[in-house]
Amino acid sequence: MKLPNSKFLGLALLAAFGGGIAADAVAFDARSADRSSSRKGAKAEVRYPDATREEPKTKASSKMQGKISKLYKAYEKEDNDAEVLTLAKEIAADANANEYDKAIAAQLGAQAAYALDDSATAKQLLQQVVELNSLDNNNYFQSMLMLAQLQLQDEQYPEGMAMLDRYLAETKSNKPEDLIQKGQALYQMERYADAIPVLKQAIAATTEPKDSWYSLLLASYVEAGQPAEAIKIAEQLAAKSPDDKKAQLNLVATYQQADQFDKAAAVLEKMRQAGQLTDEKEYRQLYVTYANMDGKEKEVISVVNEGLQKGILKPDYQTQLALAQAYYYSEQVGPAIEAWQKAAPLAPNGETYLNLARVLWQEDRVAEAKQAAKAALDKGLKKPEDARKIIALP
């Protein structure tokens, strides 16, 4: 027994995985330990030991120390972003400011603009940091990475990918969190086949890859048309977190995408027995999965009736139609007619009434069949002559 348009929904992975599919953004915060360490005479952590860039020797201008200090103090205050942005612009316009002063001002100003949800200004200032090329490697490359992230976030994919590739090339970074940035960007650009090896490299580069990284790899396999690989990842995630409802439903969706309805049904049925199916969408997912399988009419009936009894499923058109067809194809004509009688008034046209009329006629319930055929005409039919033939019966 097949429902109309029975190919199940498809795999809306971004919705299924929620926020977990996105790699973590790493917006640089200039309130880092680097500056405070230098004040104490301690050596800042070298974040990019393999970078090809030679760090500039430029330092802050003596004439600008007062304004730079004022800018730092303003930045360290909470909810002071507007003032920081104003001071940063003043330094950038000051004739006494050297390239280092302007780069520092642009970096802090970009952070303030980002906090103020002014992405355009933040990107403009970060671009200045990169072009001025005056900060130490830690601050320079973190600004470059943040610029790439904001460009990608704003769907400026060519610019964002170019900046991200430049960042990776100049830092020689193999950090998994950096590779994930590229994998996610490639996914967003719908370059799924290109995203896969990058994501695999990121996962292999750490002993503790995040589940969201696997989810992104899974989504890439699905979109790249590699269902077997997608299933391997989905099974791995589901086995790792047997009580994680989202992981189990993602496995179900992956099986369905590969037309493996028997496996999808088995997972959903296990969840039903455990009381994990709690909303209408999940019950509908199970009965539609059964409807895509031959000889599973009894299972459709069981799931629909249970969902209706629990008040989880609504007695809407699709539910009543699924119930009617399942009863009919399991040779339970009486209950099938009852379900069709409930479905027909809710249908968008008269076709369901016409099917009801045909079944009633087959059961020698001619008067009822004629009444249903008239209702079919009233709701509209592609071939109204079919209903008229039933109405014309003696």
Model pLDDT for residues 148-201, shown as the tens digit of each residue: 999 999 999 999 999 999 999 999 999 999 999 999 999 999 999 999 999 999
Question: What pLDDT was estimated at residue 312?
Answer: 97
Across the range 381-389, mean pLDDT stands at 94
Does the pLDDT value for residue 122 go beyond 80? yes
If one compares 192 and 60, the residue with the highest pLDDT of the two is 192
Rounded percentage of the chain residues whose pLDDT exceeds 90: 83
Question: What pLDDT was estimated at residue 15?
Answer: 35
Does the pLDDT value for residue 5 go beyond 50? no
Among 10-19, 57-66, 128-137, 317-326, the range scoring the smallest mean pLDDT is 10-19
Looking at this protein, which amino acid is placed at residue 238?
Answer: A
Across the range 321-327, mean pLDDT stands at 97
Those residues whose C-beta lies under 8 Å from the C-beta of residue 246, and which sit 6 or more positions away, are 16, 17, 18, 20
Integer-rounded Cα Rg, in Å, for the chain is 31
The pTM is what? 0.72
C-alpha span between 139 and 148 (Å, rounded) = 14
Rounded percentage of the chain residues whose pLDDT exceeds 70: 89
Contact 46, 35 (CB under 8 A): no
Contact 155, 185 (CB under 8 A): no
- Map residue 348 onto helix, strand or coil: coil
Helices (runs of H) and strands (runs of E) counted in the chain: 21, 0
- Map residue 8 onto helix, strand or coil: coil
Q: How confident is the model at residue 25 (pLDDT cuts 50, 70, 90)?
A: very low
Cα angle 80-86-91, degrees, rounded to a multiple of 5? 125
C-alpha span between 246 and 280 (Å, rounded) = 15
Q: Please name which of 242, 320, 235, 233 lies closest in space to residue 276, comparing C-alpha atoms.
A: 242
Burial 301-318 (b: 16+ CB within 10 A, else e): bbbbebbbeeebbeeebb
Across the range 138-156, mean pLDDT stands at 95
Across the range 203-214, mean pLDDT stands at 92
Those residues whose C-beta lies under 8 Å from the C-beta of residue 51, and which sit 6 or more positions away, are 137, 141, 170, 171, 172
Q: Which domains does the chain have, with CATH numbers?
A: 1-22+183-259 (1.25.40), 25-173 (1.25.40.10)
C-alpha span between 316 and 137 (Å, rounded) = 62
Across the range 338-367, mean pLDDT stands at 96
- Map residue 186 onto helix, strand or coil: helix
Question: What pLDDT was estimated at residue 43?
Answer: 63
Question: What pLDDT was estimated at residue 190?
Answer: 94
Q: How confident is the model at residue 42 (pLDDT cuts 50, 70, 90)?
A: very low
Does the pLDDT value for residue 39 go beyond 50? no
Q: Which residue has the tokens 């959903």?
A: 268
Across the range 246-251, mean pLDDT stands at 92
Q: Please name which of 44, 58, 114 lies closest in space to residue 106, comparing C-alpha atoms.
A: 114
Does the pLDDT value for residue 229 go beyond 60? yes
